[in-house]
Amino acid sequence: MTRDLKAPLQALRNEHRYRSRRILEGPQQPEQVIDGRPVLAFCSNDYLGLANHPRVIQAFRQGVEAYGVGAGAAHLVNGHTRAHHALEDELAAFTGRDRALLFSTGYMANLGVAQALLRRGDRLFEDRLNHASLIDAAMISGARLSRYHHADAGDLARRLGKTAREEDRETFISTDAVFSMDGNLAPLEALASLADTHGCWLMADDAHGIGVLGERGAGTLEHLGLSQDQVPILMGTLGKALGTSGAFVAGPEDLIETLIQSARTYIYTTAMPAAVAEATRASLRIVQQEPERRGHLRDLVVQFREGSGQLGLELMESTTPIQPIVVGASERAVQWSDSLLQQGFLVPAIRPPTVPQGRARLRVTLSATHSRAQVDGLLQALGGLVGKP
């Protein structure tokens, strides 16, 4: 007898946790048409506004003309083009790592690293608020998982100290560099020190830091001044600040060769289209040539935080483009999101299990293509919600 699926779906609706898709017409940009209505979107991870940049679009078109639409095969068959290879070299140089390796998605990159480097009985330590892909990576690795308190290097140190190291077992620490639902940074300097003391691998998932943080936009590790020796495994995505699609892992030569030989999510997956690689190469050049994009984005973050403070909104401690407003109950988060949509602002409600019970929130994300006037408009709309049940 098959399992009844209707009751669990209805329970999600009753608990205000039911998710629905919206249909976007047109490109990623602040002014959008969603479900047939014009809105001003404050929910995209296109932090630098590159997903619809003319130079990126032109590079993509030229890539299609040179390589066609599809890659046709995996990288290890005949899907690895000169465009892919050039992008890997440029990503390695950009992030200050020996080499980089492309993956189809960040999810697949995280799963591939865990599966290639860990085996049953190894020890894996993860931040409690890590992205779902890192948690799922732990499960497929077979390693013994211990989840330390969020951004708490002291708790991690205690957990590392309680477990005797076994010479034939790996010890691995993985963390988001920028936490996607909170917007804060991991204490990577302290984690790097612990990894060195205990002889651990340290992996940082910098999906939300690449392109945004650092003097050159090379991400959280550049922002904190951490080298490849201190953080050997860096994962970054291409579909957020870089505006395209896919992901990469960067690190030492032997790490990348091991992933090529052993990461199943790399070996058994068709390569991303070469045109996407060419578009990403154009994005990388813009990131490095136009630091004013990051400067404007930082200014918008300050503007939004100051305005939210004046309204008495509960913001989380974030200096990144991710600016969550904690409202508490899931029902209230949905009501606020719906009210903003009626006023022409698209701001999603984030509810359990994505965030803890009682900590539902509006996840505001800012982009370098937003204007100060648009941010003021959102603040004015939020001001009309303050004090409402």
Binding-site residues for pyridoxal 5'-phosphate: 106-107, 180, 208, 237
Look at residue 1 in the predicted model and tell me its pLDDT: 59
Q: Where do you find CATH 3.90.1150.10 in the chain?
A: 14-43+291-383
Look at residue 133 in the predicted model and tell me its pLDDT: 96
Look at residue 389 in the predicted model and tell me its pLDDT: 60
Look at residue 166 in the predicted model and tell me its pLDDT: 65
Look at residue 82 in the predicted model and tell me its pLDDT: 98
Look at residue 3 in the predicted model and tell me its pLDDT: 84
pLDDT tens across 294-344, in order?
999 999 999 999 999 999 999 999 999 999 999 989 899 999 999 999 999
17 vs 1, more confident:
17
Active-site residue, selected from the candidate residues 180, 308, 318, 367: 180
Look at residue 388 in the predicted model and tell me its pLDDT: 64
Confidence of residue 192 (pLDDT cuts 50, 70, 90): very high
Give the number of other CB atoms < 10 A from CB of residue 232: 21
CATH of 14-43+291-383, picked from 2.115.10.20, 1.10.260.30, 3.90.1150.10, 3.40.50.300, is 3.90.1150.10
Task: Inform me whether the pLDDT recorded for 347 exceeds 70.
Answer: yes
Task: Inform me whether the pLDDT recorded for 174 exceeds 90.
Answer: yes
Q: Where do you find CATH 3.40.640.10 in the chain?
A: 54-289
Task: Inform me whether the pLDDT recorded for 164 exceeds 70.
Answer: no
Q: What is the mean pLDDT of residues 34-46?
A: 95
Q: Tokens 């095969």 belong to which residue? A: 73
Residue 240 annotated among the catalytic residues of the structure: yes
d(Cα 45, Cα 381) in Å, to the nearest integer?
Answer: 22
Q: What is the mean pLDDT of residues 145-171?
A: 88
Active-site residue, selected from the candidate residues 53, 75, 80, 208: 208
Active-site residue, selected from the candidate residues 84, 240, 296, 370: 240
Binding-site residues: 19, 106-107, 131, 180, 208, 237, 354
CATH topology of domain 54-289: Aspartate Aminotransferase; domain 2 (3.40.640)
Task: Inform me whether the pLDDT recorded for 48 exceeds 80.
Answer: yes
Binding-site residues for substrate: 19, 131, 354
Residue 8 tokens read as 């669990």
Look at residue 19 in the predicted model and tell me its pLDDT: 86
State the pTM of this model: 0.94
Task: Inform me whether the pLDDT recorded for 168 exceeds 80.
Answer: no
Mean pLDDT of the chain: 95
State percent of the chain over pLDDT 90: 89
Task: Inform me whether the pLDDT recorded for 126 exceeds 80.
Answer: yes
